[in-house]
Structure 1
Amino acid sequence: MSLASTWLAAKVSRRITVTVLTGWGVRPRTTVHDAAVLAVTELVTNTVRHARSRSPFFELLLAVT
């Protein structure tokens, strides 16, 4: 998914992650769920903070193996 490099992207990516994890059967409020949501939120925040001047958009890809 392509997201704009804005601060709103962290909130949007968090919602997307919760929805995707739930769709995969990862129950909310579990260690795995909370860790994944936190990791994605931190990665997006760092992307916006450090790369938005170079790119107006970034790609978010969630995958399970």
Structure 2
Amino acid sequence: LEEEDNYKHIKFTDMLFDNPHAAVIRNLQECSGFMGLPFNVYYKNGKVAKATTSIQNREQITEILDSEFSK
């Protein structure tokens, strides 16, 4: 995300879908109906705040970040 500097209070990570550690994400109830990749899971205070599938555009991502993680 090019605007990552605007979200210094958020930690961004990525993980390959077939990584064994990704089973945590693949098995989430919030992702159970997802049929496509990528999955995007947004955590807040250790809980899923939002989960999306398919490619999200910049506007969609920043809308989620602003609504779920505003300072």
Q: State if a TM-score over 0.5 links the two structures.
A: no
TM-score (ref. length: structure 2): 0.26
* Higher relative contact order structure (alpha carbons within 8 Å, sequence separation ≥ 6): 1
Higher helix share: 1
TM-score (ref. length: structure 1): 0.27
